[in-house]
Structure 1
Amino acid sequence: MFTSNLKSVAKQFFADESGISAVEYGLLAAGIVVGLWAIVGGTGGIGSSLKSVFTSVKTDLASAAPTSP
């Protein structure tokens, strides 16, 4: 009885393809990130400009954040 139930669960698990779409979405997102990274990093001026903006925001947020007691 237990063996047939285990076989049934195993068949359902291996037949289920719903996880495949999650993997595909993950690969798509990774590809987009790599593409954007190549575009921003490849055009030196935009990359350094964005770095400057984010550094400024980081500094402003650090100085505005309350200190813990």
Structure 2
Amino acid sequence: MSKLLVFSKDLLQDDKGVSSIEYALLGMLIAVAIIGSVYKVSGAVKEMYALIAASMP
């Protein structure tokens, strides 16, 4: 039984996975920022192409 207690104590004190979770959250934040900016710019690009298409004979 003491091996189980030692293992659970070591498992609770281990913080190796914390940094990977932080990197995952940072990656998700960057992805959301990229998706938001692409969504914001896409409207302007559509309008520009529509203007160009309308001006062609």
For Structure 1 versus Structure 2, the TM-score category normalised by the shorter chain is 0.7 to 0.9
How large is the RMSD of aligned CA atoms in angstroms? 1.3
How do residues 5-44 of structure 1 correspond to structure 2 at under 5 angstroms? 5-44=3-42
TM-score of the superposed pair, with normalisation by structure 1: 0.61
- Structure 1 residue runs of 5 or longer lacking an equivalent are 47-69
Which digits, 9 at most, give the CA deviation of each residue in 1:4-59, with x for residues without a partner? Answer: 0000000000000010000000000000000000001111228xxxxxxxxxxxxx
Aligned residue pairs total 44
Paired-residue identity, %: 30
Q: Which runs of 4+ in 1 moved over 3 A?
A: none
TM-score (norm 2): 0.73
Task: Decide which structure has the larger Cα Rg and report it.
Answer: 2
Relative contact order higher in (CA < 8 Å, ≥ 6 apart): 1
